[in-house]
Amino acid sequence: MEQEGKYIYCIIATKQERNFGPIGIGGEEILTIGHEDLSMVVSNHPMTKFVVNRENMLAHEKVIEEVMKEFDSVLPVRFGTIASNADELRNLLDRRYREFKNLLRDMDHKIELGVKGIWKNMDVIFKEVVDENKAIKRTKEDIQNDKNKKNIQAKMEVGKMVEKDLEKKKEKEAERIVDVLRRTAFDYKLNKTISDGMFINAAFLVDKGRGKEFDNVMDDLSEKYKDRIKFMYAGPLPVFNFVNIVIYPERWEE
């Protein structure tokens, strides 16, 4: 028979035992296990290799989002973390008590807001890249004037130059957007973009009391760049980009 462990979602500041219902991975009941005034939010899970898939990841996030509806400060724990039993969790809370208390204080009343920016017309962007770089423009003209049009090396060189300048353009435009949004945030983090068209993929740490202000700034940006940029705005979210507690790094497998 498989040993039953405790899957950990997040850490909250409470002495009370709680039951958030059967919303965990695999439909398991979500409970709390506490030590002094700290508690782990957990569900039962076999102590076997954890399955990393989209369904489990979404369930992990959903639980934390539900907990956020009742608690102003929630510390996400790394996806895929399983402890052996309740005593192990209590010992962990005791051993790292001060660390978790400090993080809860730092994240108190804060939320994460995600902002992605995608250029609407890449033809326009590529034209700007070419027009802004005389070397690219000149090389392209040389290729077009080549009657044989077989200068493969020159075409490859243009491709590399365009790619390099596109990255610079992404950084420049991302900086412009971040400069406006960071005035309403405590902190921000730039994440990797996933396509030529996406030039910003950022997370902002914002006080809950300034969430509406941040919304208004996003509305202004959307209106200002409505012909150029499609913004994807998400939140409030758990503070995954600013706190992601690792408890058992050796147990986590992809």
The per-residue pLDDT for range 188-234, each reduced to its tens digit, is 999 999 888 999 999 999 999 999 999 999 999 999 999 999 999 99
Integer CA distances (angstroms), 64 to 118, 140, 244, in order: 28, 52, 12
Same domain for 8 and 73? yes
For residues 127 and 225, membership in a common domain is answered with yes
Mean predicted lDDT score pLDDT of the chain:
87
Q: Do 124 and 227 form a contact (C-beta atoms < 8 A)? A: no
- Binning pLDDT at 50, 70 and 90, where does residue 155 land? low
Q: Are residues 103 and 123 located together in one domain of the fold?
A: no
Residue 139 lies in a domain: no
Number of domains within the chain: 2
**Would you say residue 153 lies in a domain?**
no
81 DSSP 8-state letter: -
Report yes or no on 34 lying in a domain. Answer: yes
% of residues, the chain, pLDDT over 70: 85
**pLDDT band, very low/low/confident/very high, at 252 (cuts 50, 70, 90):** very low
Question: What's the confidence (pLDDT) of residue 249?
Answer: 55
Residue owning tokens 């994807």: 232
Q: Are residues 164 and 91 in the same domain?
A: no
pLDDT for position 253: 44
- Identify whether 165 is part of a domain: yes
- Write down the pLDDT at residue 154: 56
What does the pLDDT average to over 65-84? 91
On whether the CB atoms of residues 238 and 122 are closer than 8 A, the answer is: no
Residue 230's domain spans which residues?
112-132+160-237
Coil, helix or strand for 125?
helix
Q: Report the Cα 212 to chain-centroid distance in Å.
A: 20
CATH of the domain at 200: 3.30.70
Q: Are residues 85 and 117 in the same domain?
A: no
Q: What is the DSSP string of 126-185?
A: HHHHHHH-HHHHHHHHHHHH-SS---HHHHHHHHHHHHHHHHHHHHHHHHHHHHHHGGG-
Residue 141: inside a domain: no
Is pLDDT of 254 > 50? no
**Are 92 and 122 in the same domain?**
no
Section 1-11 average pLDDT: 86
Q: Are residues 85 and 120 in the same domain?
A: no
Cis peptide before 22 (omega within 30 of 0): no
Asked whether 225 and 181 are in contact (CB, 8 A), the reply is no
pLDDT in the model for residue 27: 92
Backbone angles phi, psi at 45, to 5 degrees: -160, 140
Q: Over 90: is that where the pLDDT of 159 sits?
A: no
The residue with tokens 């005791």 is 94
75 and 168 fall within a common domain: no
**80 in the same domain as 19:** yes
β-strand partners of 14: none
Per the domain annotation, does 203 fall within a domain?
yes
> In this predicted structure, what is the pLDDT of residue 158?
60
Give yes or no for a contact between 120 and 229, defined as CB atoms under 8 angstroms apart: yes
128 part of a folded domain: yes
Least confident of 73-87, 120-134, 142-156, 205-219: 142-156
pLDDT digits (tens, 9 = 90+) for 82-117: 999 999 999 999 999 999 999 999 999 999 999 999
In the predicted structure, residue 6 carries a pLDDT above the cut 70 = yes
**215 & 122 share domain:** yes
Is 154 inside a domain boundary? no
Confidence of residue 47 (pLDDT cuts 50, 70, 90): confident
Q: Are residues 89 and 25 in the same domain?
A: yes
Same domain, 92 and 194: no
